[in-house]
Amino acid sequence: MDIKWTTYRIKTVHPFGISRSTHTFYDVVFVYIIDGDIVGRGEAAPPIRYGETKNAVLTQLETKIELLADYDSVAHLIDHLVLHSGGLKSLEAAISMAALDWWTQKNNIPLYSYFDADPSKMPQTSFTIAIGELETIPQKISEAEPYPILKVKLGTSQDKEIIQAIRRVTDKTVRVDANEGWNLETAIEMSFWLADRNVEFIEQPLKADSIEETAILKRKSPIPIIADENSMVSTDIPKIAHAFHGINIKLMKCGTLSEAQKMIRIAREYEMSVMLGCMVESSVGITAAAHLSPLVDYADLDGNLLIGNDPYLGVLVSDGQLKLNDSPGLGVTPIADPEGLL
């Protein structure tokens, strides 16, 4: 068995703007565990917000990562590799995906079976309308025509104008993500204003260090408040349960698929709703998350739909509905074959 990796630049269809930044490309690292004919695939999409970079992931892989000669189980192998991942959650995610893809292919079962997830219970995914020029909204809404749920990035100086422009052309369900862009006063006012415009919930309205203010907002807001930047790993949940109605789990924040599964379990103990989200990623990362999606309430797994050069084919989306094939493992295949991609 061998472990390999390569970098790849994913390019967005539209510049991807959120409250703190705008990007036209992201560098990801694909990790492969190779065992004879079997290739287990994983993806690290290093989140800049949390200080992770492609170079940090590569350095860690080059200097610290080695497969174990002897291991008791796939969980043991993953634990060993995670121990040498330098705390880089995106690398932990990539390693966990690649190892579980390899192991479930070897055992001829789809990855969702490993997590006891029922693929007939997959949710619909929302489709993101990122921050950009107001004039581009009608075109973006028309491109989002197949998707029944829109996730709209706010936290700008034109938040009401953006929602008004959307509501002029569609009455679809809208979810809002302010990406820490508001203060308490704005958030309270916006929660009522958005509730009147059929917005389902608000994600991370306040800065991650404003937990007590978020708790005040939770008591006042007529619609649910969901944690993203405040919900990294399972140990965060008890600390924020009083301030949020739900959490957004992302593999690139929490690391392994098992940690994501643990977050789902703990959130349920606190009677919190659960969303499964993503970074801008290829179909490798998105498909891995999709295998857990039957276990959650909301999916926001559109990162691969926002890029124009996805080199893999995996989970499909039809009218917003996520659909996995029942191939063993992740069920992803390369569709482009640039140098280094397996």
Of 106, 112, 92, whose CA–CA distance to 43 is shortest? 92
**What angle is formed at CA 109 by the lines to CA 104 and CA 113, rounded to 5 degrees?**
95
Would you say 34 or 208 has its CB closer to Mg ion? 208
Count of residues of this chain found to bind Mg ion when the rule CB under 5 A is applied: 3
Query: Of 29-37, 127-135, 223-231, 279-287, which segment contacts Mg ion by CB under 5 A?
Result: 223-231
Query: Is 180 a residue that touches Mg ion (CB under 5 A)?
Result: no
For 76-106, give one letter per residue: b (16+ CB within 10 A) or e: ebbbbbbeebbebbbbbbbbbbbbbbbbbbe
- The interface region with Mg ion, picked from 41-49, 226-234, 278-286, 318-326 by CB under 5 A, is 226-234
Q: Which stretch binds Mg ion (CB under 5 A): 91-99, 131-139, 201-209, 285-293?
A: 201-209
Shortest separation between residue 205's beta carbon and Mg ion, angstroms: 11
For the chain, what is the radius of gyration of the CA atoms? 19
Least distance in angstroms from the C-beta of 20 to Mg ion: 11
Q: Which of 180, 228, 236, 281 is the binder for Mg ion (CB under 5 A)?
A: 228
User: According to DSSP H, which parts of 53-201 are helical?
Assistant: 54-64, 74-83, 89-106, 111-114, 137-143, 159-169, 184-195
| Whole-angstrom distance, CA of residue 309 vs CA of residue 206 | 33
52 lies in the binding site for Mg ion (CB under 5 A): no
Is 177 a binder of Mg ion (CB under 5 A)? Answer: yes
Closest approach, Cβ 144 to Mg ion, in A, equals 17
Q: Which stretch binds Mg ion (CB under 5 A): 88-96, 224-232, 262-270, 307-315?
A: 224-232
What's the closest the beta carbon of residue 228 comes to Mg ion, in angstroms? 4
CB of 153 to Mg ion, least distance (A): 8
**Cβ at position 65, least distance to Mg ion in Å:** 29
Burial class of residue 2, CB neighbours in 10 A (0-12, 13-18, 19+): exposed
Q: Cα–Cα distance between 39 and 105 in angstroms, integer?
A: 9
337: exposed, middle or buried (C-beta count within 10 Å: 0-12, 13-18, 19+)? exposed
Binding site for Mg ion (CB under 5 A): 177, 203, 228
